[in-house]
Structure 1
Amino acid sequence: MNTLLPINNFYKKILRIALPAIAGLSTQMVVSLVDTAMVGRLSEATYALAAMGIGVLATWALISFFSSLATGTHVIVARRFGQKDYVECGNTLNNSLFISLTIGIIVAAIGAFFAKPIADLFASDDEVAFYASEYIFYRFLGIPFFLISVSYRGFYFGISKTKIFMISGIITNLLNIVFNYIFIFGNLGMSRMGLAGAGLGSTLASSFDFFFYTAIMLLPSYRNRFQNFRRIKIDFDVIRSIWKISIPVSLQNVFILIGFLIFVAITGIIGTQEQAATQATISTLFISFLPCFGFGIAVQTLVGNNLGAGKLNLAKIYGFETAKVATIYTLILGIIFILFPQYVLLMITNDTSIIQTAKPVLRIAGFAQIFYAVGVVLANALQAAGKMLFVMKAEVITNLFVLVPLSYLFGVVFGYGLTGAWFAMPIYIILYSAIIFSKFLSKDWYEKIPLKSQ
């Protein structure tokens, strides 16, 4: 009985932070599913879905290098919050916002300008490339708002205020659905834009995040405690600290998305319908991916807070207990995906041929995702402890040197088609999770990260 009470308390604290984050992230999942469902019901669904797969991954491959500013901000603020240095938390947010605004404008301009070459690079079909380029162009217009919101998220995550993220996420993503309905199909007097309308709708909705997060920071309780609007200054020590934490995570994100972009391109070599089925399967997997990221947010906050307070043993316990909870979730979903793939895929598209093509690969993905939670959660815990480089190397090795070559080998060279290409997925996920888990078991998994006046 004496041991059960602390464990229950751990779970309560984990869920108190994780559940709002999961709710906020799940609204993004819902938008992804609804977007894909809307696009999947266009007359040009096969081409549009294939183009959407390229557009989503290509967009994120370019901006994810900078979206990891959330991690840098999150880790520093979590440590400072654990140390009860609230003014430095506000100073960290100010400098993170400065970085996001500067980079957001530059990345938006570059991404919009090179939308067509990016689409041509990864699409083997001209019509798919055309749709993808339009989608990429409109998505990049909203990058400045997105990156500023990323900095705010890192701050709110670090101080355990994930409910703010949840509220903003719900409203923003409801707006996203409304805008997409209007522009994709041409409702309320607007012209029908098809896939391009999904990109424009997402960009318009993303601006709400910026206004909402800023309004919260203007509340007296936040202004008085963190004093971020009273002490505005460019602090190069903080900027360097954010970059030292963020760059390895940025590189990891880019390599992940490039790896998956190549994976989608490989399925395009097998066939356009197979590429559309891959996009439908990936969209379905957001049901498990995004909640796992929510548990990752919780563990990064809890590990960071406890490391900042010098409670190293508690930090490690929170890592393991969060991984357990997340694994229960992915196990349940994995069973559903394996037993009822056709019904899950109906949320994405009513195209019978795409569903039949995607059924066996969703079963494979359902098995693989059971092991995904351990890798994601403990990787976030390691990042909070300063092991960004280790996590990055583990991801690069398993993604680019296991998933990509094996998917091509099984799917194209050996001729096993789409099922063969997707068979590389569980090998990649199990190997990555095993590497992360073994590192977390070691005694040297935490160390001081480069924070000013640590």
Structure 2
Amino acid sequence: MSLPIMMGSAAQNIIVLSDNVFLYHYDHLQFAAVGVIGAFYLVLASIGYGFSRGGQIFIARKYGEKDMKSLGMYFQALVLFEAVLAVLIFGFIHLFGYDFLKLFISSTEILDYCYDYLYYRSYGVFFSYLGVALIALYTGIAQPKIILFDTLVLTISNIILNYVFVFGKWGAPAMGIGGSALASTLSEVIAFIVFIAYIVYKRSYKTYHLLDFTSINLRRIYECFNISFPIVVQSALGLGAYFLFFTFIENNSAKDLEISNLIRNIYLILSIPAWGYSAGINTMVSNFIGTKKGRLSFH
């Protein structure tokens, strides 16, 4: 069960890794820059992902209880919360993003490259945050195959679009780091559309009452927030430390930053199994609790 979840949970890691590979072969300074801004964007992505974990836990519990109506309500609460959060993050990037990065990055050239990447990636926040809500749904109901398929769509489209927009192939302009960010955003849009098409095709929106919206349920939103907040803080602090570490290296030299980014890509690969395995364990425990088999979670 954990393998598909493993891939879906680490989707942003896969995107950043793909961006790094193409930029390494395009321009070394831009490759160095994506090390800094890639770490920063992972912090932003971890906020949306962390909050989705709370929704996933409640969805899994209600699925175990066979309470599909409540399951749909928790999903709606999660989608609404993620959408509002995406708007706030998008606004922060466009209003304060450049000045915020300027506090940490000393090189004007690297700063411009970083904001170029962040500008295009900002539009992907909506699809990323709503996408993790869909992943939380299908993780919670223990149907991870679509997560694996959608992640493969995301990865393949990202690789193709990176090739097109970074190097300027098939009539597209060579955009470098901006093209890499644009490719990542477009691949998230494609993956999101595929996910929605699957839900419509399988009529899951009826089975799980996903569209039975009556009113905004603040209690369920608070419950998701309350259980997710420690996860968000843990992820943000951990990945935030990486961002600060990379800014310290950038202040030393661009060459050191380039080397450090190369090493970090190895960490990204190694972190994928850990993220997925933990998400799988969360789902199994919540399902056991929902089916009144909580003791099994200790065996």
TM-score by length of 1: 0.62
Determine whether 1:182 maps to 2:164.
yes
- State the partner residue of 2:21: 37
- State the partner residue of 1:258: 240
Alignment match of 2:181 (pick from 196, 199, 209): 199
Q: How far off is 1:192 after superposition? A: 1.2
Segments of 5+ residues of structure 2 without an aligned counterpart are none
Q: How far off is 1:95 after superposition? A: 1.7
Q: How far off is 1:239 after superposition? A: 1.0
1:78-117 aligned at under 5 Å gives the runs 78-117=60-99
Q: How far off is 1:28 after superposition? A: 5.6
Amino acid at match of 1:36: N
- State the partner residue of 1:225: 207
Q: 1:26 to 1:101 in 2, by over 3 A?
A: closer
Alignment match of 1:59 (pick from 32, 41, 49): 41
User: Aligned partners of 1:241 and 1:30: how far apart in 2?
Assistant: 30
Q: How far off is 1:146 after superposition? A: 1.2
- State the partner residue of 1:21: 5
User: Aligned partners of 2:146 and 2:183: how far apart in 1?
Assistant: 22
8 Å CA contact 2:6, 2:279 repeated in 1: no
Segments of 5+ residues of structure 1 without an aligned counterpart are 1-16, 318-454
Alignment match of 1:146 (pick from 128, 131, 138): 128
Q: 1:20 to 1:216 in 2, by over 3 A?
A: same
Once the two structures are superposed, residues 168-195 of structure 1 have per-residue CA deviations (whole angstroms, 9 ceiling, x without a partner) of 1111221111111111111111211111
Q: How far off is 1:246 after superposition? A: 1.9
SS at match of 2:103: helix
Q: 1:66 to 1:35 in 2, by over 3 A?
A: closer
Once the two structures are superposed, residues 289-318 of structure 1 have per-residue CA deviations (whole angstroms, 9 ceiling, x without a partner) of 01211111111111111122232331122x
User: Aligned partners of 1:184 and 1:253: how far apart in 2?
Assistant: 30
- State the partner residue of 1:244: 226
Q: How far off is 1:118 after superposition? A: 3.1
1:398-437 aligned at under 5 Å gives the runs none
Alignment match of 1:165 (pick from 129, 140, 147): 147
User: Aligned partners of 2:237 and 2:52: how far apart in 1?
Assistant: 18
Q: 1:283 to 1:118 in 2, by over 3 A?
A: farther
1:278-427 aligned at under 5 Å gives the runs 278-317=260-299
8 Å CA contact 2:51, 2:228 repeated in 1: yes
Q: 1:24 to 1:96 in 2, by over 3 A?
A: closer
Q: How far off is 1:139 after superposition? A: 0.7
Once the two structures are superposed, residues 4-58 of structure 1 have per-residue CA deviations (whole angstroms, 9 ceiling, x without a partner) of xxxxxxxxxxxxx11222344577655443321210112x31x212210111122
User: Aligned partners of 1:26 and 1:61: how far apart in 2?
Assistant: 13
Larger radius of gyration: 1
Please provide the CA RMSD for this pair.
2.0
User: Aligned partners of 1:159 and 1:90: how far apart in 2?
Assistant: 11
Q: How far off is 1:271 after superposition? A: 3.0
- State the partner residue of 1:235: 217
